[in-house]
Every structure is written in C-alpha cells, then in structure tokens.
C-alpha cells in the first residue's frame, strides 16, 4: 500500500515535470508503468487473502442448505445464521 502511494506521488511529480517541459514523456510512462505494476501486485495480494474466506463461506452455505433440505432448519433461522456467520468471518 505504501509502495503504491509512493509511486503515485512519483508519477504525479513526473507528470508535472513533463507538463512544465523539464522531462520527456518516456519518464512519465515509466513512472505510470511502475504504478500500475504495484497496483496489480496489491490486487493479487488482496485476492489471495480473500480466497480462504470465500471458500469457507461457500462451505458454510452448502452445509446450511443441506440442513435446510433435511428439514433441520427453517428459512428464517438459516438466513439469521448465515448473516451472523458472515459477519464473524469479516469477509473481504
């Protein structure tokens, strides 16, 4: 996150230097490329962190659905339980 913020400032600085005429466009595009690479990396890290939570929630939903199909749990109770469990998981 800090790397992205630093690269964003770096890109803005290069952009302003280009606008002022003291830098060429290649410098701006290099800074922009580095910024986009950092954003891509950050989104990959966030996605990897969310996968286990999503898999767990899907498994819980399947179990609750099976329990409902078996008649052990009603619709209202199922919705309350899934909502409560989802809040506990603090999904991404």
How far are the Cα atoms of 3, 6, 10, 49, 89 from residue 43, in angstroms, in the given order? 13, 16, 20, 10, 20
- Report whether pLDDT(84) > 80: no
The number of folded domains in the chain is 1
**Token couple for 3:** 């790397």
**63 is in which domain, residue-wise?**
2-89
Mean pLDDT of 13-24: 89
User: How much of the chain is helix, strand and coil, in % rounded to 5?
Assistant: 85, 0, 15
- Report whether pLDDT(58) > 70: yes
So what's the pLDDT on residue 8?
Answer: 85
């Amino acid at each position: 996150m800090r790397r992205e913020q630093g690269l964003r400032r770096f890109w803005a600085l290069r952009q302003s230097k280009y606008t002022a005429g003291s830098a060429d466009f290649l410098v701006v595009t290099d800074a922009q490329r580095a910024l986009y690479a950092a954003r891509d990396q950050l989104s990959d890290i966030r996605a990897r962190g969310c996968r286990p939570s999503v898999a767990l929630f899907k498994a819980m939903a399947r179990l609750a659905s099976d329990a409902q199909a078996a008649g052990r749990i009603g619709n209202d109770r199922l919705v309350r339980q899934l909502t409560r469990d989802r809040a506990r998981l603090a999904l991404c």
